[in-house]
């Protein structure tokens, strides 16, 4: 009976964690470049149940000991594009991005920015702006880096960025190019919040710029939307609520049974 009690409790905890992830995805539906999180649920070890009767054993099947959320991973598929006609809005789309041969997972490309600690951060949120000094930055103020590893300095918002990331002012190439990073296995990246990621150990991703094996396209005046599937997320959230309530009812039933058992045992004593 105690095993069933803990199995129901683990089910509630799993659905609670799944609900938190889905709620956060829905809240970021309109965040440019946001990548929806997905939960991977795994069962605790199952037990083989047998009954011994008159020296013989009878196989009764397996008993689950509950489940838990093993990990939460982002879905790095591209979102749809929205035209904004703002020069500081850049959408990064991968055309031919090699994946990880070991895992079979597709690769991904990212804008490269400088974090507040001076280390590299990576993002798909191309909703950029110019700060007071003329640096191209994210909405949170992280400088966007060029292929030379330095922040991109601009004279005004009247600039153009071509498909390869080269920056032009008054029709002249400035010598600066938006640095695009390549992750063969983007699941090696760690979320930092605000749409930023870093490589474990603060390592550096290689540049995708001028790599003949990688093809990407930057579209100025567009934003990549989040890849959150709102209707699917709402349906999954509703299902998660129902599963939580079902496990809660089971937990209450076990609790009443244990109270009844304890009362009867006390009376027999």
Query: What span, in angstroms and rounded, lies between the C-alpha atoms of 36 and 107?
Result: 16
Whether 65 has a pLDDT exceeding 70, the answer reads no
Greatest mean pLDDT among 52-56, 104-108, 148-152 lies in 148-152
Query: What span, in angstroms and rounded, lies between the C-alpha atoms of 99 and 106?
Result: 4
Q: What is the DSSP string of 187-213?
A: GGEEEEETTEEEEGGG--PPB-TT-TT
Out of 65-74, 84-93, 152-161, pick the least confident: 65-74
Query: What span, in angstroms and rounded, lies between the C-alpha atoms of 243 and 10?
Result: 12
Identify the pLDDT of residue 49.
54
Whether 134 has a pLDDT exceeding 90, the answer reads yes
| Per-residue DSSP letter, 246 | H
- pLDDT range class, residue 8, cuts 50, 70, 90: confident
Whether 53 has a pLDDT exceeding 70, the answer reads no
- pLDDT range class, residue 222, cuts 50, 70, 90: very high
Q: What is the DSSP string of 208-233?
A: -TT-TT-EEEEEETEEEPP---HHHH
Out of 12-26, 48-62, 68-82, 102-116, pick the least confident: 48-62
Query: What span, in angstroms and rounded, lies between the C-alpha atoms of 113 and 121?
Result: 5
Whether 210 has a pLDDT exceeding 70, the answer reads yes
Identify the pLDDT of residue 262.
66
For the segment 119-129, the average pLDDT, to the nearest whole number, is: 95
For the segment 67-86, the average pLDDT, to the nearest whole number, is: 85
Whether 48 has a pLDDT exceeding 60, the answer reads no
Out of 9-13, 122-126, 244-248, pick the least confident: 9-13
Out of 7-16, 32-41, 138-147, 219-228, pick the least confident: 7-16
- For residues 130 and 70, the model is more confident at 130
Distances (CA, A) of 258 to 13, 94, 254: 21, 58, 6
Residues β-bridged to residue 91: 219
Whether 92 has a pLDDT exceeding 90, the answer reads yes
Average of per-residue pLDDT values in the chain: 85
Identify the pLDDT of residue 1.
47
Identify the pLDDT of residue 102.
80
Whether 129 has a pLDDT exceeding 90, the answer reads yes
- Over the stretch 227-256, which tens digit does the pLDDT of each residue have? 999 999 999 899 988 888 887 877 777 667
């Amino acid at each position: 009976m105690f095993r069933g009690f803990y199995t129901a409790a683990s089910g509630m905890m799993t659905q609670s964690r799944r609900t938190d992830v889905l709620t956060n995805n829905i809240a970021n539906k309109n965040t440019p470049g946001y990548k929806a999180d997905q939960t991977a649920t795994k069962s605790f070890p199952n037990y083989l149940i047998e009954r011994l009767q008159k020296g013989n054993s009878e196989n009764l099947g397996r008993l689950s000991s509950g489940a838990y959320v093993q990990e939460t991973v982002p879905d790095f598929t591209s979102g749809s594009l929205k035209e904004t006609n703002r020069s500081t809005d850049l959408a990064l789309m991968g055309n031919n991005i090699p994946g990880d041969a070991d895992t079979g997972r597709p690769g991904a490309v990212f804008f490269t920015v400088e974090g507040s600690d001076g280390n590299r951060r990576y993002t798909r949120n191309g909703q950029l702006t110019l700060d007071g000094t003329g640096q191209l930055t994210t909405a949170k103020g992280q400088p966007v880096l060029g292929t030379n590893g330095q922040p991109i300095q601009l004279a005004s918002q009247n600039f153009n960025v071509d498909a390869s990331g080269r920056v032009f002012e008054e029709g002249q190439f400035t010598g600066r190019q938006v640095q695009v990073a390549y992750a063969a296995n983007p699941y090696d990246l760690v979320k930092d919040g605000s749409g930023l990621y870093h490589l474990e150990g603060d390592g550096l991703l290689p540049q995708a710029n001028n790599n003949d094996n990688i093809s990407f396209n930057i579209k100025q005046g567009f934003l990549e939307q989040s890849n959150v599937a709102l209707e699917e997320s709402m349906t999954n959230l509703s299902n998660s609520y129902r599963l939580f309530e079902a496990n809660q009812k089971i937990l209450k039933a076990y609790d009443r049974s244990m109270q009844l058992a304890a009362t009867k045992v006390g009376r027999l004593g």
